[in-house]
């Protein structure tokens, strides 16, 4: 959910000017799972920070633990203008696959990158036309094993004439 200060005319005007000064966003990160390139957090910062600062804008991001104790981080991002006006993303939870520092750090970086890209309207990832979001969920190892066992049972039954 987008959040904002009472007035946003100055922050919006500054952002419009800054966006025209953004450098080319270079996708140098690689996602081996989807075999796609993406702009990592440092690439986003390289492309945007100078223009933001020239126009009196700064990004602040905060990290919190989940309210319910879930493993992961809650990220919020705000674009502040020197006038005191701001726009923000609101809070979003990003789960971690493991609860150690590396897992939470990875979730934090991912969340910061996605929120910053959304707030600044950047195309930081390849557009797959929604294919990854609409693909069937991969089966767990247990359900794959059960399916294989079921298939073998069917083959034996067929061989026996059932």
| Digit-coded pLDDT (tens) for 48-106 | 999 999 999 999 999 998 878 899 999 999 999 999 999 999 999 999 999 899 999 99
| Local structure of 85: helix, strand or coil | coil
Q: What pLDDT is attached to residue 67? A: 75
Q: What pLDDT is attached to residue 153? A: 44
Binned at pLDDT 50, 70 and 90, residue 129 comes out as very low
User: In sequence order, which residues have a C-beta less than 8 Å from that of residue 1 and are 6 or more positions away?
Assistant: 89, 90
Q: Where do the DSSP E strands lie in the chain?
A: 3-4, 29-31, 36-38, 57-65, 72-81, 86-95
Contact in structure between 29 and 38 (CB atoms under 8 Å)? yes
The β-bridge partners of 93 are: 74
pLDDT at 162 over 70: no
Q: Which two tokens stand for residue 133?
A: 């979001």
Q: Token match 């939470």: residue?
A: 104
pLDDT at 156 over 50: no
Q: Which residue has the higher pLDDT, 40 or 50?
A: 50
Q: Which residues of 73-96 are buried (b: 16+ CB within 10 A; e: fewer)?
A: bbbbbbbbbeeebbbbbeeebbeb
Q: How far is it, in rounded angstroms, from Cα 129 to Cα 5?
A: 33
């Amino acid at each position: 959910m987008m959040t904002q200060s009472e007035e946003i005319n100055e922050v919006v005007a500054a952002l419009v000017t800054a966006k025209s000064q953004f450098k080319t966003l270079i996708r140098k990160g690689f996602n081996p799972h989807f075999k796609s390139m993406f702009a990592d957090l440092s690439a986003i910062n390289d492309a945007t920070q100078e223009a933001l600062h020239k126009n009196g804008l700064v990004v602040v991001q905060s990290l919190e633990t989940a309210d319910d104790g879930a493993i992961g981080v809650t990220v919020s991002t705000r674009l502040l203008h020197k006038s005191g006006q701001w726009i923000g993303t609101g809070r979003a939870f990003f789960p971690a696959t493991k609860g150690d520092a590396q897992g939470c750090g990875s979730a934090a970086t991912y969340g910061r990158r996605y929120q910053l890209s959304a707030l600044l309207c950047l195309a930081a990832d390849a557009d797959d036309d929604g294919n990854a979001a609409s693909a069937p969920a991969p089966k767990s190892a247990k359900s794959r094993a059960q399916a294989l066992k079921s298939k073998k049972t069917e083959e034996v039954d067929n061989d026996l004439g059932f």
